[in-house]
Structure 1
Amino acid sequence: MLSAPPGTAEAAPPRVRRSAWLDALRGTAATVVVFEHALVPLWPEARPYVKGVFDPGWYGVLVFFLVSGYIVPASLERGAGLRAFWVSRLFRLWPLFAVCAAGMALLSAAGWDEPHVWWQTRPTALVLAHVTMLQNLLDVPNLVNVLWTLSYEMAFYLLLTAMFALGAQRRSTPAALTFAAGAVLGAGLLPTALLSFGTAGRMLTVVVAVTAVLAAGLAAVLYGHGRLRQAGAVAVAGTIVLLLAVNQRYPGPWQGLLILATMFAGSTLYRAGTGQLTHRHATWVALVPLAGLWLGRGDLGTETATAAAWLTFAAGLALRHRVWPSWAAWLGLVSYSIYLLHPLLMESVEHFLSDPASVPVAARMALTAGVYAVLLGLCALTWRWVEAPAQRLGRRLVDRTASRRAEAGPAKG
């Protein structure tokens, strides 16, 4: 278990099991994101009207980020420490990420999708940036359009890791409010791609430098002690904050900062729900959605999506002790597959359906249902043959390491 900060004595956090309500929220978010990306190849004439009143993509990712903010601290605290957490993240995220990347590469090779020209002129920088999953914070075009959100997930993991190493893991509320304030104050002022913009050599230098600093800092946090560990944590946190502040481009500086505020707000709600913080303290994070509504003013689709995402999470939180349908929980179980693989199907549909508006509505409705059915079948396969085995392997490695430490402990003492 993670030790308490020096000079403090904390009760062990409660063990949190996988919850059906969180899975249901994940499944809902993934399904809505699929709907967003189905509009272009199947319902292009409806897209402006839908987006004008409700942005399904923004809604979906905000729900995802709230869920991540809520559950990731629990995963950190209930596990065997930061090393175990990163092993689990490695085997949770990268295998399917690699499958998704390989699938898009095949579509490109077949001529069904045209990759960004930088894949020919800047391949080293683009590959390395994607390996770190921070490509969106390095101004690197995403191989698959949905991968941009993983950069913010990774930024959140790294910031949480630094906070744990510095004994500041419970300061999620100040973190949420700081990022929200940065989004509000920096909107329209913060630069975009300040570090990476320019020549191929400059981009490669930035990608290599960021990767090296983060790798060294994370190694110091995971394997170092004392001041070395603290220095590593500061290096990791400082690098991520710098990238968030000056090197974002899409979806934009204030959106990226608001995303981090949203995840830390989810962490505050988790701590309030488990008794680590008072509910009165947690009410401060209500400023985060208010900041989102203020920043999205004038864009009805963004405003309604922001409000709906928070209301959806609040409803799930209020109903968390209810029995949820098994199909809803299953959708959450395969939500990562749904999220990463659906763009490949949509690219395929777009390749064959050059003029969707000319196709009868009934035929497109049937095609939409068919795409969803194929997607769910594909996700069932990737869960069985990619995700689940990789996660089991990660757990075995964590358990094996924990057993070795337990055996070595008495001998050292």
Structure 2
Amino acid sequence: MSSIESSRLAFVDTLRLFAAVLVVFQHLAERHPTVTTRPLVELGPGVMGVVLFFLISGYVIPFSVRKGLDPAAFIIRRICRIYPLFLAALCVVAIGGWTGLLDQWAYLADTGLWRWTANILLIQDFVGVPAILGVSWTLIIELIWYALFAFAILAFKERAADVLALVFPAILLGLGLISLWLDTRIPLGRPAMIYAAILGYQVYQFHTGKLSRTRLYGALGVFLGVSWFTNYVAFGIFTHPHITLSQALGPWTIAPLLFFAITLTDRLRTSGFINSGILPLAGTISYSIYLLHPIANAAADQYFAEMFQVPVALALTLILSVLGYRLVERPGIELGRYLVSLKTSRAVTA
């Protein structure tokens, strides 16, 4: 086993933690702006964290199919990875809203079935339904990436990464030109997240000897060029109510450069600082941190004086994330493994 295979989980978990912390910082700084945090928010740390999450996803997902892709097993594991914690988070905000314990979600007492259905299926943004949990918008993009990856592997096999890296930037450029032609803003940032995952996939290809360093750096250059163009169209020529052009261009530049620096520099990737101790350990609960921190923020703002809200929110985020990981997230992962093993054993005995 190569060093990248044996050490990948530790440094990847540290990267995940960093991504989650960036998102948490963004949301806390927006809720509690100060002279110090305002210029930092303009750098778009939350966007950077999400881009980094997708780069990581593109890098790690191929490891799960090194011995071949079983579509049913792949789907089971991915759903059991995403959905249990998400459904648990929805239950928490629903109970909190219905009982008045979390005022931010008090409106859920009068929410109809369609809004719940759209949110549970993660299609709320596509059907014009408000999100119940704001951060959930990334989950459907993650699921789309999983489906696209599986399709590419089944259809193109060893050429999957090359095909995706050729077709997807062309699609994004085409969407940008269509947006200009129609004089209508198209949300190009969301499909670009999938492109970030494809770039992460190319880094995996490099580490497994299937892509040269020259081609990989070329892929990075294409990615930066395409992302600058699409972000300029989506956030420069047109506008977004919450994200400025600088908050888009900066993160889409810094996140891939940081990811490349760590994953391609042996000294950084294998350093004890990011491969041992508290950082990779905390990184194992990064999904819980990402999904549950809005609940902690809402509770802190509702029940504590302003001067205590930020530290309480951070403490509650840690507590909820540890509980979420131990009680829901990890059992969900184990459930996926069990269901796959059960499916495999049935296939053997059939």
TM tier, shorter chain?
0.7 to 0.9
Residue 313 of structure 2, aligned match among 353, 357, 371: 371
Change (3 A) 1:169 1:334: farther
Name the structure 2 match of 1:90.
79
Q: Partners of 1:390 and 1:172 in 2: how far apart?
A: 29
Q: Partners of 1:396 and 1:179 in 2: how far apart?
A: 35
Alignment TM-score, normalising by the size of structure 1: 0.70
Q: Would you say the 8 A contact 1:26–1:64 is kept in 2? A: yes
Secondary structure of the 1:113 match is helix
Q: Partners of 1:169 and 1:117 in 2: how far apart?
A: 47
Residue 21 of structure 2, aligned match among 23, 31, 34: 31
Residue 255 of structure 1, aligned match among 183, 189, 194: 189
The alpha-carbon deviation at position 332 of structure 1 amounts to: 1.7
Residue 100 of structure 1, aligned match among 80, 89, 93: 89
Q: Would you say the 8 A contact 2:285–2:325 is kept in 1? A: yes
Name the structure 2 match of 1:291.
226
Name the structure 2 match of 1:307.
253
Q: Partners of 1:332 and 1:320 in 2: how far apart?
A: 15
Q: Would you say the 8 A contact 1:115–1:143 is kept in 2? A: no
Q: Partners of 1:73 and 1:130 in 2: how far apart?
A: 28
Amino acid at match of 2:40: V
Q: Partners of 2:225 and 2:6 in 1: how far apart?
A: 29
Change (3 A) 1:42 1:48: closer
Secondary structure of the 1:135 match is coil
Change (3 A) 1:341 1:283: same
Unaligned runs of 5+ in 2: 237-244
Stretches of 4+ aligned residues off by more than 6 angstroms: 14-17, 115-119
Equivalent residues in 2 for 1:183-194 (5 A)?
Answer: 183-187=172-176, 189-190=178-179
Can you list the C-alpha shifts for 1:240-274, whole angstroms capped at 9, x where unaligned?
A: xxxxxx9xx9xx52112211111111111111211
Name the structure 2 match of 1:226.
none
Name the structure 1 match of 2:242.
none
Equivalent residues in 2 for 1:112-123 (5 A)?
Answer: 112-114=103-105, 120=111, 123=113
Change (3 A) 1:384 1:176: same
The alpha-carbon deviation at position 177 of structure 1 amounts to: 4.2
Change (3 A) 1:255 1:145: same
State percent identity of aligned pairs.
27
Is residue 338 of structure 2 the alignment partner of residue 406 of structure 1?
no
The alpha-carbon deviation at position 139 of structure 1 amounts to: 3.4
Q: Partners of 2:271 and 2:325 in 1: how far apart?
A: 26
In terms of mean alpha carbon deviation, does 179-188 or 316-325 score higher? 179-188
Residue 338 of structure 2, aligned match among 362, 379, 396: 396
The alpha-carbon deviation at position 113 of structure 1 amounts to: 1.4
Unaligned runs of 5+ in 1: 1-13, 192-245, 357-362, 409-413
Secondary structure of the 2:64 match is helix
Alignment TM-score, normalising by the size of structure 2: 0.82
Q: Would you say the 8 A contact 2:69–2:153 is kept in 1? A: no
Change (3 A) 1:384 1:307: same
Is residue 193 of structure 2 the alignment partner of residue 267 of structure 1?
no
Q: Partners of 1:393 and 1:79 in 2: how far apart?
A: 21
Q: Partners of 1:186 and 1:116 in 2: how far apart?
A: 36
Name the structure 1 match of 2:132.
143
The alpha-carbon deviation at position 285 of structure 1 amounts to: 1.8
Q: Partners of 2:129 and 2:165 in 1: how far apart?
A: 26
Residue 180 of structure 1, aligned match among 169, 172, 178: 169
Change (3 A) 1:402 1:118: same
Q: Partners of 1:24 and 1:326 in 2: how far apart?
A: 10
Task: Say which structure is richer in helix.
Answer: 2
Change (3 A) 1:169 1:93: farther
Q: Would you say the 8 A contact 1:183–1:255 is kept in 2? A: no
Q: Which has the larger radius of gyration?
A: 1
Change (3 A) 1:92 1:143: same
Change (3 A) 1:166 1:173: closer
